[in-house]
Amino acid sequence: MIPPNWRYAWNNSADPLVVRAHGLADAVTRPSVTVSRPAGRGPVLAYGGLPHGLTHVLPFLEQRRGAGADRSRHRTTWAELADGRAARDADLLAVGVPSRARPLRPPRHCLLLPFRINLSVPVGGDPAAVLQRLSRKARQQHVRELRSRSRTLQVATSEADFDSFYDGMHLPTMQNRHRDDARSEERESARICLFRRGVLFYLCESDRRVAGMLCRLEGRTLVVRLAGVEAGGEEPYRSGTYMAMYVLILQWAAERGLTRVDLSGCEPFLSKGIFQFKRKMHPVVALPDNHFREKNLVLRVLRDTEEVRDLLTANPVLTTGTGQGLEAVYFHDQDRPARLDLRWECPGVSSHRTVDLDEFLVGLPRSPHGNLTGHPVLP
């Protein structure tokens, strides 16, 4: 059995030796492709390449498509993934590739994305400056509810505290929010690699614990890893509980001379709820420090359908861009305005552009409802 600290380091460490070992493992990966067909109307999705995308990418795309999913999987080759032949009946193909194998210039009908992005907040010695990162509305809500709900931050240190958080907050929250797609750190790994190497915070309202966050200390960086609310309920999302906890933790870190709070990461889509929520703290958006830095996501459209256009328009992406920083890309056509309400402005995202789907998809097979009317076979 692999010790929890070894497994944690393999999955999360930024140590160059670990990152390099991941690269060697990725280089010998024999790829497969998973095709996801909707129960009702919607595009046929496929994911292939590096296996991490089956937990990080495909579930997100399925969730944004809706209509359930019927998956099938088969072996393929990197060459077939590169030209789309690996998933002939799919409308949209996402391929996770080692960065060394990414295309120098994305082929037609493709976008090159980071595999994941990281969000972090630099903190200095002034806790009051943390509030200035928030919008005036969010700042006013935080100050108002801090008083009205008697909110305080508590640091918990006992093993019983850890068990109470993991079982009574974290697991129920993951189940209620993500259902079958829930993923987390296993209990003993969380105990050994996070709790005993970091800090467990509770947010209290009138001395009652209503939410918690388990963080790891890495030098002068505090890494937010696991979160949860009492019994996994929905009310804390409406009452600003999570935002209050983040603000208080940022202030706690500033008071203790830490330099950065790592808010963890997500997939490179602006429609990702966690991105829009954490964007309120004006974090720096960057490539992860761990092995995900050396991976890319190639998003390839195989067929032009109404459902594909709906999905692309509703989910703007962050791409590697052509200059410094990431670039936000919004799709639109004459019937679908660009979703500019999904904001991109953050340090590390240098610009944005809009892309006309009529131009981007020109030359592809076109059908009004690809998965209902049947697919032409790709050459």
pLDDT tens digits for range 240-259 = 898 999 999 999 999 999 99
pLDDT for 87-145, tens place per residue? 999 999 999 999 888 887 788 899 999 999 999 999 987 888 888 888 888 888 889 99
3-state DSSP assignment of residue 87: helix
Q: Write out the two tokens for 173.
A: 């929250």
> What percent of the chain has a predicted confidence (pLDDT) above 70?
94
Q: Residue 256 and residue 97: Cα distance in Å, rounded?
A: 40
* Choice among 3-12, 39-48, 68-77, 318-327 with the minimum mean pLDDT: 318-327
Model pLDDT for residues 133-186, shown as the tens digit of each residue: 888 888 888 899 999 999 999 999 999 999 999 999 999 999 887 666 667 889
CB 69 within 8 A of CB 119: no
Q: Would the pLDDT of 379 be above 60?
A: no
CATH architecture label of 124-258: 3-Layer(aba) Sandwich (3.40)
Average pLDDT over the chain reads 90
Under the banding of pLDDT at 50, 70 and 90, the label for residue 375 is: very low
Region 282-306 average pLDDT? 95
Q: What is the pLDDT of residues 297-306, one digit of tens each?
A: 999 999 999 9
Span of 190-204, 245-259, 355-369 with lowest mean pLDDT:
355-369
Q: pLDDT class for 373, splitting at 50, 70, 90?
A: very low
With cut-offs at 50, 70 and 90, classify the pLDDT of residue 369: low
364, 304 contact by CB (below 8 A): yes
DSSP 44: P
More confident residue, 377 or 138: 138
Average pLDDT over residues 266-289: 94
Q: Which helix (H) or strand (E) holds 209?
A: strand 208-218
Fill in the amino acid letter for 139: R
pLDDT at 376 over 60: no
- Single out the residue of 55, 62, 64, 66 nearest to residue 96, CA to CA: 55
Looking at the chain, list the stretches that DSSP marks H as alpha helix, in order from N- to C-terminal side.
Answer: 4-12, 16-27, 53-56, 58-65, 78-83, 128-131, 136-148, 159-165, 171-178, 187-189, 235-238, 241-255, 273-278, 306-314, 357-360, 370-373
**Residue 326 · residue 320 · CB < 8 Å:** yes
Segments of the chain assigned to CATH 3.40.630.30: 124-258
The model's confidence at residue 323, banded by pLDDT at 50, 70 and 90, is low
pLDDT score of 179: 67
